[in-house]
Amino acid sequence: MILTLIGFMGSGKSSVGRLLAEELSFTFVDMDDFIEEMTGRKIREIFREDGEEVFRKMETKALSTLLGLDGSLVLATGGGVVTREENRNLLKKSDYIIYLRTGMETIKNRLKNDDSRPLLQGENRDGKIAHLFDERLATYENLFTHVVDTDSLSVLEVVEVCRGFLQKSFSRRL
Ligand code: S3P
């Protein structure tokens, strides 16, 4: 069973995923960490030295490997994974695609002091966020099997909503 979390940078995919996996006794994989381990390089370095396109290819390779695994997995994706059609098709192999839907103002606030995202470096961070947000919103909306509106929820509350999805679908199958 693979449960995949999608959503914009700062939507909480990694924190929610880690906790959710722990509560379900599933294995947790953060795709960015997986790519760093696979390549022995930092995401920042890959973007700086090789550019976004090369990173996207690595992301597709990682996604294809991870979605081919057996076992029980919670997978936290990178926010840009939905931008490639190939990735969107791969993502559909997940049993659950949970979209952590977060408003743009919340994202701007959460990422205010964050220097780690290569796509948000330099001037006008809010403008960059707004641009990517508008570009990607419809793609997230068209891909999910389940959605959580996270704006007013804590990480723990989001985890509980996700657990509720699983319980509901299991009881429906019984
Ligand atoms: C990206 C999001 C990042 C990381 C990379 C690109 C994006 O992951 O994959 O910096 O294009 O939105 P997070 O969503 O975990 O920040």
- Residue 172 has a pLDDT of 64
At 99-133, the pLDDT tens digits run 999 999 999 999 998 889 999 999 999 999 999 99
CA 36 / ligand 1 centre spacing (Å): 13
Output the pLDDT for position 169. 78
Q: Residues 20-26: what's their mean pLDDT?
A: 96
pLDDT in tens, 132-171: 999 999 999 999 999 999 999 999 999 999 999 998 877 7
Nearest CA, atom 3, ligand 1 = 78
Residue 8 alpha carbon, nearest atom of ligand 1? 14
CA-proximal residue: ligand 1, atom 11 (nearest) = 80
Atom number in ligand 1 closest to CA 116: 10
Residues 143/99, Cβ–Cβ less than 8 Å? yes
- The pLDDT of residue 102 is 98
- In testing the pocket of ligand 1, which one of 4, 9, 54, 60 has its CB within 8 Å of the most ligand atoms? 9
List, in order, residues 6 or more apart from 120 with CB less than 8 Å away: 9, 111, 114, 128, 129
Residue 154: phi and psi, rounded to 5, are -80, 170
Ligand 1: which atom is nearest the Cα of residue 59? 9
How do residues 46-85 score in pLDDT, each as one tens digit?
Answer: 999 999 999 999 999 999 999 999 999 999 999 999 999 9
